[in-house]
Amino acid sequence: MKSRKHLLQPILDSYQESGGINHVDSSNLPSKKAVEALSEDLLHLLFPGFFSDEAVSSEELPSAAMEIVNKIADQLESSIIVSLRGENVPDNDDQLRKKATAITERLITQIPGVRALLKTDVEAAYAGDPAARSLEEIVLAYPGLEAVAIQRVAHLLYKEEVPLLPRMMTEWAHSRTGIDIHPGAAIGSHFFIDHGTGVVIGETCVIGDRVKLYHGVTLGARSFQKDEQGAIIKGLRRHPRVEDDVTIYPNGIILGGDTTIGARSTIGANVFLMKSIPPDTLLVRGEQIQSRLDKKSGKKKETVTVQISQDEIDFII
């Protein structure tokens, strides 16, 4: 075989010079293939019969569920151990395994609660999309549901302060669906992302119940505070709060940790917003902020109508 040492040496030199993108002489990191397998198995557990090659009968369900629970528990426990060890958590292997086992068991006990939330998400999609013909179509064909399903499980791991793994799970879903939801985002019930491509939801977002987002919506950060050395300060609230019964139409961009979208409000397409708006507000690009009518009484609610130009919308600080 022809020697190619002259090609190898510059690469080896770069390994010495470019620290930060090497991971050698240390513990393993979570495997992307393992995270992919774990995420796919979680979808099997969350939606039994939907992601299987063969039909699952009621008689087979207990044994099939036990098999997938055991498989997920083994995968999850191993991935958590690797994640914790990769972050240099100061525990020995026995302590790491006990910690990983406890986290794994706590997560699996919360699967029924996750499924209850996902049922509301499916119902919201069916109620909110006239093109939906059945609940089965939503589970099988709607990318928003898949992204939210993985995020809801990853959020549990995020709250357990498991490093790396939750973000890898949501990025796996991102690569499949085009929907980027950070595992730290807190999301209420009946959540529906219609179409979904290009949706971005940041780490510190808090989203209420019965919220509907369309494609291209960004719930992002406005700016990053820095310390005296100029480094970004981590852990601060950076992303908006979206209250109950809000709808945000395509390409709406809402930024900032101080920004709250009041309950029952509607944000029109292509609006750029960095300021809180009160409940019952309709904000439409190029028009005005309008208070809505109370559907029962037909009278205007107490929200004050504010005239606002698009320039003001685009540059609200």
Domain locations in the chain?
Answer: 26-178, 198-317
Q: Is the confidence at residue 91, as pLDDT, over 70?
A: no
What CATH class does 198-317 carry? mainly beta
Q: How far apart are CA 234 and CA 265, in angstroms?
A: 30
Structure-token match 């499916």, residue found = 122
The answer to whether 221 and 201 have CB atoms below 8 angstroms apart is no
Tell me 307's DSSP state: -
Task: Give the count of beta carbons closer than 10 Å to the beta carbon of residue 181.
Answer: 30
- pLDDT tens string 170-218: 999 999 999 999 999 999 999 999 999 999 999 999 999 999 999 999 9
pLDDT for 30? 81
Report H helices in the chain.
Answer: 5-17, 32-46, 61-86, 93-109, 111-128, 135-141, 143-159, 165-177, 310-314
How confident is the model over 49-74, as a mean pLDDT?
Answer: 83
The answer to whether 289 and 305 have CB atoms below 8 angstroms apart is yes
> Is residue 206 classed as helix, strand or coil in its secondary structure?
strand
Q: Which residue has the higher pLDDT, 16 or 237?
A: 237
User: Domain 26-178 adopts which CATH fold?
Assistant: serine acetyltransferase, domain 1 (1.10.3130)
Q: Is the confidence at residue 130, as pLDDT, over 50?
A: yes
Tell me 247's DSSP state: E
Q: How confident is the model at residue 226 (pLDDT cuts 50, 70, 90)?
A: confident
> Is residue 188 classed as helix, strand or coil in its secondary structure?
coil
- Choose from 39-43, 56-60, 308-312 the range with maximum mean pLDDT: 39-43
pLDDT for 60? 81
Token representation of residue 27: 């513990």
Q: What is the mean pLDDT of the chain?
A: 85
Please, what is the Cα angle at 32 between 26 and 35, to 5 degrees? Answer: 110
Q: How confident is the model at residue 66 (pLDDT cuts 50, 70, 90)?
A: very high
pLDDT for 13? 72
| Same fold yes or no, 26-178 and 198-317 | no
Q: How far apart are CA 103 and CA 125, in angstroms?
A: 31
Say which residues have a Cβ less than 8 Å from residue 139's Cβ, sequence separation at least 6: 47, 50, 122, 145
Q: Is the confidence at residue 312, as pLDDT, over 50?
A: no
The answer to whether 214 and 250 have CB atoms below 8 angstroms apart is yes
How confident is the model over 76-80, as a mean pLDDT?
Answer: 94
pLDDT for 88? 59
Q: How far apart are CA 215 and CA 193, in angstroms?
A: 7
pLDDT for 316? 37
In angstroms, the Cα distances linking 219 to 175, 235, 311 are 19, 17, 20
